[in-house]
Structure 1
Amino acid sequence: MPTTYTPELRWGDAVTAFEAAQRAARYADSTIETRLKHVRRFADGIGLSPWRVTYEDIRAWLDRESSNKHTRLSLRTSIRAFYRWAAASGRMADDPSEEPSYVTKKAPVPEKWRPALDAFRSYLRANGQPRTSVSVRMAQLSRFARDHTNLDPFDVGFDDLVDWLSEKRWKPETRRAHRSVLRVFYAWAVQSGRMETSPAEKLPVVRRGTHLPRPALEEEYRKALAFASPRERLALVLAAELGMRRAEVAQVHSKDLMQRDGIWTLTVHGKGAHQRSLPLAPNHVSMLRSLPEGYVFPGNDHGHISPAYLGKLISRLLPAGVTMHALRHRFATRVYAVDRDVFAVQQLLGHASPATTQVYVRIEESSMRRLVEAVAS
């Protein structure tokens, strides 16, 4: 009968491979020994397979293990070295020791929920979900788990879900997103044999909210440009003049800039791993070509700045209540005004449906008044 590949065996193989990689990289013997000691200590205390560990697991373990600042820093450094190697060598899709952009200082996920959420995370990754989508879905599920600490995830009933969704004072989009992830999670639970039926299958449909477009005003955009640093100015331009989302701006790389038959384009990495190609104006080409190779906005989020932090930087340049996303609305409104082609605007924004694009376009009152006057008797 085959031997079960337990977490202990997985850790043993992982630490052996890590040690070989450290020695091949010619780190000092003392550094290697310290890192191995710390990683083994972590392995003994975490109780999980090395490849199921999350950022929240590492943070919680460090909190339990030591209150001494220097000891904690030393342990964290060794664990980061291990997981950077794991991610670089392809053993993990992401580095769990690196703080994700969505993390906030919240209570850890309840112990009862961890195995289920870890398994669901693996399912999403195996399904080819983009890293950002996985992070958002796990954050949403973790919110539900924290509100149901003493309830086993597979004992949740229909009424539990309805009560939770009904008590939240959310916008329709937020409510729809949480309903969606609960339906996916419990459909997976049924598919994987953890439950017989899904309590989320018959959750009531959440209607889309009615929104008025809120494009940034021209004077707001121009004032932000005047006070921006060179990199902030480029982020403003990409959002306001190309309609890019903050996550798309954050990921721009020099290799995304391409020229074919004398025409320059920028490959944009959009939602759900979808890519689109945007034509560039001469000023856009000049700004991008003047930068060194690599990420245009370097940072600690897999080599580039995190979208959340970039959004905060740009929002500081804009009036209160005006976000970086309002610059995308500005682009949509101005492009639509050129020839009223909603399908072209849809392609430029990377929307799956023109109905979504309509939410971004603000029709000027003067245009509506002109139409009304044209048919008036």
Structure 2
Amino acid sequence: MTEAASTWRPVVRDYLDSLRAAGRRPLTIRLHEHYLRHLQRYARDPFNLNIGNLERALTVRRDWTPETIRSAASVFRGFTKWMHARGLIPTDPGLLLPAVRVPAGVARPIPDPILDMLLSAHPPGRSRWLLLLGGHCGLRVAEMAQVSTRNLDGDLLFVVGKGGKERIVPVLDADLQAAIRSGGGYLFPGRADGHLSAGYVSKLLSELLPEHWTAHTLRHRAGTAAYRGTRDILAVGRLLGHAKPETTMRYIQLPADALYAVARAAA
């Protein structure tokens, strides 16, 4: 254990205990722990936190989207507020952190680090399948509820979406493929015509996800990641089951390098 880790560990332990005492969700607590572990790399001593090392921790990762930065900043503010209230630091540097601006009316994808953390925490099983179907395949909750063996052909899943429109969604995770194929019926059996209801799937995801993130933000993540990797708005719309590219654009958070690429092309 490094000297910095040994200094941070008891403080973080007590802070997480305070979150548990306040009734915060286990996954929310894991999220706080995740971002505080990141902060430790830029602030060796939790008793000497300042605006400089807080901002450094928020800006050093060039791959973080505004949503990820806002999520981390919220954790930092909660932690420094708790530290100050307990008399562990003389002032609260978190108060000096500027508000993180996220463009209004655009996609709100769950940040990749959060989804990766959730997937690493859940072995093969119902919870993991829901996260993959939403965050990687872009399915709606009603579509997740009706995933069935009979709708899988190889690695292609036939999905019936809004208005009875059918589309094809590749399922690339081998374990998820095997689970759908071996079920002999619905992947999520239940009482709604043999499968779980959309409402119950939404409830399960709300329990799985940290606060402020929803099943729909998983779908936004799938659209954003797909566009980031392909820049093909029509193909992304086909994946998500949209009839118009204007609808798809509301699901995509524009990659940070896109405007630079456009500017370079125009120069």
Bin of the TM-score, shorter chain as denominator length? 0.5 to 0.7
Aligned to 1:217: 111
SS at 1:365's partner residue? Answer: coil
Q: Is the 8 A contact 1:227 1:317 kept in 2?
A: no
Aligned equivalent of 1:323 = 214
Structure 2 unaligned regions, length at least 5: 1-103
Query: Given the superposition, is the C-alpha separation of residues 232 and 327 from structure 1 closer, same or farther in structure 2, using an over 3 Å criterion?
Result: same
Paired with 2:233 and 2:165, the residues of 1 have a C-alpha distance of: 20
Q: Which residue of 2 aligns with 1:304?
A: 195
Alignment partners' CA distance in 2, 1:287 and 1:299: 16
* One-letter code aligned to 2:131: L
Q: What's the TM-score once normalised by structure 2's chain length?
A: 0.56
State the 1:338 CA deviation. Answer: 1.9
Report the secondary structure of 2:156's partner residue.
strand
Counterpart contact for 2:179–2:187, Cα < 8 Å: no
**AA aligned opposite 1:252:** V
In 2, distance between residues paired with 1:271 and 1:373? 39
CA apart distance, 1:339: 2.3
Superposed displacement of residue 344, structure 1: 0.7
Amino acid at match of 2:189: P
Q: Does 1:360 align with 2:251?
A: yes
* Alpha-carbon shift at residue 372 of structure 1 (Å): 4.1
Deviations 1:336-371 (A, max 9, x none): 112211111111111111110010011123432454
SS of corresponding position for 2:210: coil
Among all aligned residue pairs of Structure 1 and Structure 2, give the percentage whose two residues are the same amino acid. Answer: 38
1:234 aligns with 2:234: no
| Superimposed CA distance per residue, residues 44-91 of structure 1 (whole angstroms, 9 cap, x where no aligned partner) | xxxxxxxxxxxxxxxxxxxxxxxxxxxxxxxxxxxxxxxxxxxxxxxx
Give the counterpart of 1:257 among 152, 159, 176.
152
**1:286 match:** 178
In structure 2, the residue matched to 1:277 is 168
Q: How far is the alpha carbon of 1:223 from its aligned partner?
A: 2.1
Point out which structure has higher relative CO (alpha carbons under 8 A, 6+ apart): 2
Which whole-Å deviations, capped at 9, do the CAs of 1:211-241 have from their partners, x for residues lacking one? 2100110111122223336111011111111
Code of the residue aligned with 2:117 in structure 1: it is K
- Deviation track 1:268-314 (CA, whole Å, cap 9, x = no partner) reads 1211111112223252423423x321111111112111111111211
Rounded to whole Å, the distance in 1 between the matches of 2:222 and 2:173 is: 17
The aligned amino acid for 1:257 is: L
Q: Please state how far the C-alpha of 1:320 moved relative to its aligned partner.
A: 1.1
Q: Which has the larger radius of gyration?
A: 1
- Which residue does the alignment assign to 1:343? 234
Q: Structure 1 363/333 Cα, relative in aligned 2: closer, same or farther at 3 Å?
A: same
Give the paired residue count.
162
Q: Which runs of 5+ in 1 are unaligned?
A: 1-209
- Asked if 1:266 is matched to 2:146, the reply is no
Q: What TM-score, normalized to structure 1?
A: 0.40
